[in-house]
Amino acid sequence: MRGAIVAGLIIGCAGPAVAAVTVFGGGKDAQACYQAAKDGRSDDVAIGVCTLALGQSDLIDQDRGGTLINRGVMYLRRMDLATAQADLDAGVMLNPDAGEGWLDRGAAYIAERRWKVGIGFIDRAIALGVTEPEKAYYDRARAEEELDDAKAAYFDYLEAVALKPDWDLPKSELTRFTVTAK
């Protein structure tokens, strides 16, 4: 019954990358919530399934945390940032080793333009390990750029491309950079 990231998506072209948390227990509703998050859904039905799963008393803390994180991802996709953060915060409290939850918390803060806080959560996600670390490096690069740290952003975009060479988004970001020797 270990939670792990298996999927994610980008919120709009310039939005943060987020990921869903695998839930192995908790019955069919928790599984359906995970699948909806994995598939990139954020409709009322998908959120309702997550809410139904959270109302079940047999969820262990780790799966309840994963389900909260998955529902938080759905709210984040809707740009309902306050609700997303409430779910993500509660999910990480129950499942603190879910690197994906920390990544999603960072993504929420980046969506709010709170760059330094977002970077801190993304650093934690990277330290804990995520199954799609390229998303963490991409999100951190976006925040670093907003903080006028072009060098750090450049290297994080490079790392995202190295980790997932077929991902066009960080590749296109790199085309804006000019590297000169000093």
Comparing CA positions, the residue from 12, 17, 15 lying closest to residue 164 is 17
Q: What is the pTM of this model?
A: 0.84
Residues with Cβ within 8 Å of residue 95, at least 6 apart in sequence: 3, 21, 61, 62, 64, 65, 66, 69, 101
- Give 91-112 pLDDT, tens digit per residue: 999 999 999 999 999 999 999 9
DSSP state, 11?
A: S
Q: Regarding the domain delimited by 5-133, which CATH topology (the fold level of the hierarchy) does it fall under?
A: 1.25.40
Whole-Å CA distances, 65 to 21, 26, 32, 71, 98: 9, 11, 15, 10, 9
Residues with Cβ within 8 Å of residue 45, at least 6 apart in sequence: none
**3-state secondary structure (DSSP) of residue 15:** coil
Handedness of CA 75, 116, 92, 158 (dihedral sign): positive
Average pLDDT over residues 57-68: 91
Distance, CA of 21 to CA of 78 (rounded, Å): 18
Provide the angle, in degrees to the nearest 10, between the axes of the packed helices 61-77 and 27-38. Answer: 40
Distance, CA of 9 to CA of 134 (rounded, Å): 12
At 2, the pLDDT band (50, 70, 90 cuts) reads very low
Distance, CA of 10 to CA of 169 (rounded, Å): 9
- The confidence score (pLDDT) of residue 180 equals 87
Q: What end-to-end distance do the CA atoms of the chain give, in Å?
A: 52
Place of tokens 């954020």: 42
Domain spans of the chain? Answer: 5-133
- Give 116-175 pLDDT, tens digit per residue: 999 999 999 999 999 899 999 999 999 999 999 999 999 999 999 999 999 999 999 999
